[in-house]
Chains A and B, each alone.
Chain A
Amino acid sequence: EPEVTQTPSHQVTQMGQEVILRCVPISNHLYFYWYRQILGQKVEFLVSFYNNEISEKSEIFDDQFSVERPDGSNFTLKIRSTKLEDSAMYFCASSGQTAGNTIYFGEGSWLTVV
């Protein structure tokens, strides 16, 4: 079964540093997402991306966050200047040809900000 892959699986970074989390969505999918889960809490939507632009974003997705699809396969989340409260699991996800299809999640990237 096709899957969403994410790298790195775990990253430790100093506060104030920039972090880039990478994702390879399922190949024929058109909708891409990032979600975040702080330890012990529920999964929260960050941003959706369609047709090479942000289609929707949550209040969490402020100016320190950005997303990019630099080529035909990768989808990245950049955090410009990390804060302690950015420590979380970040999930990339993708879905198929129309919004409302099943959303498939990657295995997540643990980010620890120290």
Chain B
Amino acid sequence: GIQVEQSPPDLILQEGANSTLRCNFSDSVNNLQWFHQNPWGQLINLFYIPSGTKQNGRLSATTVATERYSLLYISSSQTTDSGVYFCAVPGGSQGNLIFGKGTKLSVKP
């Protein structure tokens, strides 16, 4: 089945710093989603981005489908950005998602 790898596994930032999280996937996909799991365990949709670039406030994402990777950019990080960031791609015909292991982000004040 399709493999999803995320890097780095852990990231510690000072508040105000920028960061780039990477997601590589092993096969062609027609969908990719980025999620933020907050410290309470909730999975928050960030982006649905099968290709191209999208921006939402301080966050933006780019997927280069032909090269099988996606990047999530966080600018001017805040302590509330802390948590685990997951990317996920379809693993079956019914759209079920295969998740990467996530990047655990800690933003220090």
User: CA–CA, A42 to B99, complex, Å?
Assistant: 7
Cα A108 to Cα B35 with chains together (Å): 14
Distance of A84 Cα from B95 Cα, bound (Å): 30
By a CB distance below 8 angstroms, the chain A residues around B41 are 37, 89, 107-108, 110
Q: Chain A's nearest CB lies how many Å from the CB of B100?
A: 7
In the assembled complex, which residues on chain B have CB atoms less than 8 Å from the CB atom of A75? none
B96 at the interface (CB under 8 A from A): yes
A105: B residues at CB distance < 8 A: 35, 43, 45
Can you give 16 A-B contacts (C-beta < 8 A)? A31-B94, A37-B41, A43-B86, A45-B92, A45-B96, A48-B92, A48-B95, A55-B93, A56-B93, A56-B96, A100-B30, A100-B90, A100-B95, A103-B33, A108-B41, A108-B43
Residue numbers of A with Cβ under 8 A of B are 31, 33, 35, 37, 41-45, 48, 50, 55-56, 89, 91, 95, 99-105, 107-108, 110
- How many B residues face the partner with a CB closer than 8 A? 24
Q: A43-B88, A102-B45 are in contact. Are A50 and B94 (CB under 8 A)?
A: yes
Query: Given known contacts A42-B86, A43-B88, is B95 in contact with A101 (CB within 8 Å)?
Result: yes
Q: Is the CB of B86 within 8 A of A48?
A: no
Interface presence of B73 (CB below 8 A): no
Distance (whole angstroms) from the CB of A28 to the closest CB of chain B: 16
Contact A99 B45 (CB under 8 A): no
Q: How far is the CB of B20 from chain A (nearest CB, A)?
A: 20
Residues in chain B near residue A103, CB distance under 8 A = 33, 95, 97
Complex partner residue of A95 from B92, B95, B101, CB under 8 angstroms? B95
The 8 A CB mask of B33-76 against A (1 = contact, 0 = none) is 10100000111010010000000000000000000000000000
B31 interface residue (CB < 8 Å to A)? yes
**In the assembly, what is the distance between CA of A41 and CA of B41, in Å?**
12
